[in-house]
Structure 1
Amino acid sequence: MTRTRTLASAMLATTLTAGLSTSALAAADPVKIGLMLPFSGIYAQLGEAGRDGLKLALKQSAAELDGVTFEYIALDTEAKPARAPELASSLLNQHNADFIVGPVHSGVAMGMIKMLRGKDTVMIIPNAGAAAATGPLCAPNIFRTSFSSWQPSYPMGQVALDKGYEKVYAISWNYGMGRESLDAFEESFTAGGGEIVEKVLLPFPSTNFQPHISDIAATNPDAVFTFFAGGGAIKFVKNYDAMGLRGKIPLLGSGFLTEGTLEAQGPAAEGVMTTLHYAEQLDVPANQAFREAFNTEYGHYPDIYAVQGYDAGLAIANTIEKLNGDITDKQAVISTMEKLTIDSPRGEFTFSKAHNPIQNIYLREVKDGVNVVQSIAAKSLEDPARGCKL
């Protein structure tokens, strides 16, 4: 009974209608979308952004969907991997969700995949970058509208080489995203003749950076590459500046180092270079329209997490439209979705055979508190999907 009450309190069900008549609404059951995202705890803002982006995409698509309605079943993962199988089972077996969208946290993604892999329900990952999701654990019904951990970091290796950096110090947290990000950078950097002079993996979520920044100063590499996000990214960048390394040893990173953190980092972030599949000021027509529509709808401008949720919504809407509203044949849903071209705020992308986005990765540099796009670091980059048998 305790578990039942927990699920009930976590569930928020809403129905979005496309301005249809009562008779039209009665003609078909709503499409059920299960949302497995964090709505409380440290990642709550990320979950809310993904949900809001998805709902905006479906609202904007209402005219093309001609009578389709949506029912949302939202379950709070609390970013706890242990809860994932239970919640996913609930959406699959009790609520009969047509699409399940989530999560933010890669550990939760692994738990969801364990329950949903190979089922008729389509799972769309709007953030978690775990390589296994579109690698060894890939499946026909699993799609991702975000990135693999390999994608943002791999291109930075060539950027570093092009800038003449030969020796790089690499540092991150010792967890999946950290290890996979450093490995991706090392793969491209060493292939071109670069050398990783030190590779440090800190216990997650330790922010005791000062001893390691002192070690960086003593080692004096040509540059530093890192993956940190959120509060860790804020503290690392500020400590790096406070210890006098900004402007002396270039700081490079996966884009999450300066994504959603710039205001808190302040002047300490000036000059930091990152690679990512999105930037707020990206000069793409779909981006400008999306940002204004999101601000009108929710009263603030979107971040990358909202973009990824928005694209999950576009994937659902475009699939339903191409099938003329009939999603009863789940194999047709899958085969239709995997052929889509998504007109995203990040620029158009398609899905790889493993169902990961094939997308541009942009080189950004912080200037006057903004991630300014310098170039396309890798055009239409496809994750290698190592271990995927699709």
Structure 2
Amino acid sequence: MTLSPTRAGRRQLLLAAAASPLLFGVPRLLRAQDGPLKIALLTSLSGPFASLGESMRAGLELMLQQCNYEMGGRKVQLLVEDDHGKPDEAIRKVRKLIERDKIDILGGVISANIALAIRDIVHDAQLPTFISNAAANGLAREAASPYVFRPTKTSWMLGHTGALWTFEHIEKSGGITLGSDYTAGREYIEDFANTYQEQGGTLGERIWTPLGTPDFAPILMNLAASNPKFVYTFLAGADAVRFHQQMQDYQLHGKIQIVGPGALFDQEDVITAVGDAALGGVSTFHQSPGAPAAQDFVAAYQASRGRLPGEASTSGYVTGQVIKAGLDAVKGDLSNKAAFKQALLDKPINTAFGPMAFDPRNNQSILDIYVNRVEKDTQGRPFNTVVHTYQRIQDPGPRS
């Protein structure tokens, strides 16, 4: 699979651009700096990631409420667009936001496919863009842009740490993989497998399933027959919910160790739906409601929505925190984008994910990755409990 941009010669140009913060200073649009800032959220409010999109919006809106819709001394106007989980729709919406709504900053994006689809559009428009959730490795590598920040993980950051933990603490052989057959699933599975095998582990069958699989019964019958020691799985949103529920229905829950990136055991959008069917699951994630850095946000989110936050809500909130840090540093003046970018690169930002520094090569965040095990908390609820932290995990970056 190739993640590089389609234009000839783009790769070398982008690598040079990603290394040069001065290119960020070319103004996309000259406008008065005393009016409201227009920040747009592009997310999935329908389609397979609808619940994640609603959570992302809730997290960002909570952060904006806390700062009274003001950043850098200027009022903020939030525009929200639904990409329907479809790249073509996302492209149409981003063009509208740039050309008609004349936004200052774009944030959001659930799916890796969509992040890659809009990459050239925001790059050519020189639009400061913050990818909140999509994990595509390419955006930190050959498709890195000086205008795109990633206040979230890459697939490699989670697949790599998942493999380290599985090899060291679960099993060194006898496992298989199961992944949704699209960009994110392919990356997570490949990154896990590569690191696991580099450690000396051996893996069996690789199973792929379409995004939006309505019934996992054939796969579960395969698992029951083969009885692997563990399954490393990437499924997200409604697919993850159906998988856990059917694992319990087929009496496989607790018999096979399930490991995966955190989306498989998302606290808000998966565990809330499946309850005890998630118990015993292990994930590596840049987000945990049990992480010390998240506690103020967790309390505020529970007060606001009556439930624990997961990745999407936390990523919406963190995106707001990062944008605010940059805008506060330049006092709301986006006419000098080089100064805005440099403010984000200069020092780590305290976020609900934990301390967040950005790699100057590609604007990719460097993050602590938590190993979460789903256990019952003091109230008897299934809860992502932090059992280990891999500190300051950094994607290999443009030369990988």
Query: CA-to-partner distance for each residue in 1:298-341, whole Å, 9 max, x for gaps?
Result: 55543221211111111111111111232211222222223342
TM-aligned CA distance change 1:66 to 1:367, over 3 Å: closer
Q: 1:278 — aligned with what?
A: 287
| Residues matched between the structures, number | 360
Q: 1:364 — aligned with what?
A: 372
TM-score by length of 1: 0.85
CA contact (8 A) 1:311 1:342 kept: no
TM-aligned CA distance change 1:318 to 1:222, over 3 Å: same
Q: CA deviation at 1:253?
A: 1.4
- Partner residue of 1:108 out of 114, 124, 146: 114
Q: CA deviation at 1:42?
A: 4.0
Q: CA deviation at 1:194?
A: 0.6
- Partner residue of 2:257 out of 230, 234, 250: 250
Question: Which structure's relative contact order is higher, taking Cα pairs within 8 Å and 6+ residues apart?
Answer: 2
Correspondences of 1:116-135 after superposition (within 5 Å): 116-135=122-141
- Partner residue of 1:75 out of 75, 81, 90: 81
- Partner residue of 1:43 out of 41, 44, 49: 49
State the alpha-carbon separation in 2 of the partners of residues 355 and 329 from structure 1. Answer: 17
Q: CA deviation at 1:62?
A: 5.3
Q: Give 1:93's aligned amino acid.
A: E
State the alpha-carbon separation in 2 of the partners of residues 247 and 95 from structure 1. Answer: 51
Q: 1:179 — aligned with what?
A: 186
Give the gaps of 5 or more residues in structure 1.
1-25
Q: 1:53 — aligned with what?
A: 59
TM-aligned CA distance change 1:193 to 1:359, over 3 Å: same
Please state if 1:136 is matched with 2:148.
no
CA contact (8 A) 2:329 2:340 kept: no
Give the gaps of 5 or more residues in structure 2.
1-31, 377-381
- Partner residue of 2:362 out of 354, 370, 376: 354
TM-aligned CA distance change 1:117 to 1:63, over 3 Å: closer
CA contact (8 A) 2:38 2:76 kept: yes
- Of residues 237-246 and 265-274 in structure 1, the stretch that sits farther from structure 2 once superposed is 237-246
Q: 2:25 — aligned with what?
A: none
TM-aligned CA distance change 1:264 to 1:72, over 3 Å: closer
TM-aligned CA distance change 1:66 to 1:273, over 3 Å: closer
Q: 1:380 — aligned with what?
A: 392
- Of residues 63-72 and 247-256 in structure 1, the stretch that sits farther from structure 2 once superposed is 63-72
TM-aligned CA distance change 1:334 to 1:118, over 3 Å: farther
Q: Give 1:375's aligned amino acid.
A: H
- SS in structure 1 of the partner of residue 74 of structure 2: coil
Q: CA deviation at 1:208?
A: 3.5
State the alpha-carbon separation in 1 of the partners of residues 204 and 313 from structure 2. Answer: 37
Q: CA deviation at 1:178?
A: 0.9
Q: CA deviation at 1:92?
A: 1.9
State the alpha-carbon separation in 2 of the partners of residues 213 and 199 from structure 1. Answer: 14
- Partner residue of 2:296 out of 289, 293, 311: 289
Q: 1:8 — aligned with what?
A: none
CA contact (8 A) 2:62 2:301 kept: yes
Q: 2:105 — aligned with what?
A: 99
CA contact (8 A) 1:262 1:269 kept: yes
Q: Give 2:291's aligned amino acid.
A: L
After superposition, the CA RMSD in angstroms is 2.4
Q: CA deviation at 1:86?
A: 2.2
